Amino acid sequence: MYVLAIDQGTTNTKALIVDRTGRIHAQASTPSTTDYPHPGWAEQSAGRVWNDTRAVIDAVAAQVNGSPIDAIAISNQRETIVAWDAETGDPVGPAILWQCRRTAPDCAALIVAGHNETVEAATGLGINPMFPASKLAWILKNRPEALDLLDQGRLRAGTVDSWLLWNLTGGTSFATDHSNAARTQLFDTEKLKWSNNLAEIFGTPMTCLADPRPSESRFGETAHGTTALPAGIPIMAMLGDSHAALYGHGVRHPGTVKATYGTGSSLMTLTPHRVASSHGLSGTIAWTDKSGTAYALEGNILVSAQAAAFIAGLLGVGDAATLSDLAQTVATADGVTFVPALSGLGAPHWNDHATGTLAGMTHGTRPAHVARATFEAIALQIADVFEAMQADIGAPLEGLRTDGGASSNAFLMQLQADLLQCPVESAVVEEVSALGAAAMAFSALGVEWLPDARSTRFEPEMTPEAAAVIRATWRDAIRRACS
């Protein structure tokens, strides 16, 4: 029995084929390209997102030599919105990424108008341009063809999961799962349905939105000719990538936090029930399966591991791996701090106007100090969210489980344990999100298994006093960035 798992992320698109024991039999990956046409804007070609997905599906299908695939699972970048024509399947402009801040003025106006409390009560999310609701309103205001399609009943708008599903099924299925719907700011996470009230607040229609379903559902079947796969293969699981990673870590009960280190970072921990954060986090739906709806607290960091690539480019040292080697040539950052607010600041600070700052430099500052400050910044942002989670929950959390490309960097993971002053468990298997989605699809097929939970453990080596000094310097840097 095989499941084909798709992991469509901001940085790359992957596919892998897994058997019922969790063994990976085939995998393929292709990089994604993000465009930044204006300050604060971030876009990807929706057509390329689908073409890349089709390419990796075809690649893994070829590797298993026609062996039958029993189901498909999808894990996807969240909060990115695609609009398209239901008749032709053509996208209406580029996909607007979760990182895009173009609707910051619109969101600020909604907050001033007093809508934030209502939105947060229904969705668990404070009004912010990261979420798709304001992006859909922007599309309707700024892309005339979208409004024309809406008037004709031909406009479809959804997160990446629904875009991939539409294409895989040849346009016969237009649906999303509860985890992705919960991140739109148009979905009532208690009633588990789109909200007329929220749609009215944001000025978005509901007629163009996908059918929201439990994450473990039969979403549709592959259509002939969409990929190299035969027709009729069921799509049995869809989750946002952060949710799939939590599931992939085998977390089924509250107490453990997972952090995904990608372009941005997401920290998520299960909660016993639907909760509202008072410390800059989001209450959200982790997933909905045969056991019911699992709720979670989440903190989203807008620029995480991407900060290393950014500084590597500025310093002209090549890539993030080379920057990591450079950072390890000094014992401390020597007072240098880097706040990577390249797209504003996310959780728990939420400041759209913050910009990246590099501070604390002297005549003695060397590129290595800047490099080390960059890796400290990645870990310090994670520590801020972890601390906010403990404050919301009112009790210590057991520890941190990590995944994502940068989690394989032992230097970064040791910094993370040092600055958190608690153990960090870094997943040995890289494809945690894809395996989490695959595990849910197997569950839908009646096969229960836990993905490989092996990890490398990092214990704090830095003294609490030294960690406290770095944390205090960081807090000062954050205040300056937000001022």
Q: What pLDDT digit, counting tens, does each position of 151-169 carry?
A: 999 999 999 999 999 999 9
pLDDT in tens, 181-194: 999 999 999 999 99
Tokens of 238: 């869809």
The pLDDT value given to residue 433: 92
The pLDDT value given to residue 276: 86
- C-alpha 125/C-alpha 329 separation (Å) is 41
pLDDT in tens, 236-252: 999 999 999 999 988 88
Tokens of 227: 């990929």
Neighbours of 21 (CB within 10 A): 10
The pLDDT value given to residue 155: 98
The answer to whether residues 442 and 290 touch, using CB atoms and an 8 Å cutoff, is no
Please tell me whether the overall predicted TM-score, pTM, comes out greater than 0.85 for this model: yes
- C-alpha 349/C-alpha 385 separation (Å) is 9
Indicate the helix (H) or strand (E) that contains 285.
strand 282-289
The answer to whether residues 270 and 246 touch, using CB atoms and an 8 Å cutoff, is yes
The pLDDT value given to residue 20: 87
Residue 452 has pLDDT above 80, yes or no: no
Residue 454 has pLDDT above 80, yes or no: no
- C-alpha 199/C-alpha 205 separation (Å) is 6
Instruction: Domains for the chain: give ranges and CATH numbers.
Output: 2-243 (3.30.420.40)
CB-based contacts of 386: which residues, under 8 Å, 6+ apart? Answer: 257, 259, 267, 397, 400, 420
Residue 264 has pLDDT above 90, yes or no: no
The pLDDT value given to residue 21: 85
Q: The tokens 């997943």 sit on which residue?
A: 427
The pLDDT value given to residue 398: 82
Per the prediction, the chain carries an average pLDDT of 94
The pLDDT value given to residue 149: 97
The answer to whether residues 242 and 266 touch, using CB atoms and an 8 Å cutoff, is yes
Residue 427 has pLDDT above 90, yes or no: no
The pLDDT value given to residue 97: 96
- C-alpha 82/C-alpha 15 separation (Å) is 21
Measuring CA to CA, how many Å separate 431 from each of 12, 18, 85, 410? 12, 11, 33, 17
The pLDDT value given to residue 431: 86
Question: Pseudo-torsion of CA 245, 249, 255, 259, nearest 10°?
Answer: -40
- C-alpha 173/C-alpha 82 separation (Å) is 15
- C-alpha 17/C-alpha 28 separation (Å) is 9
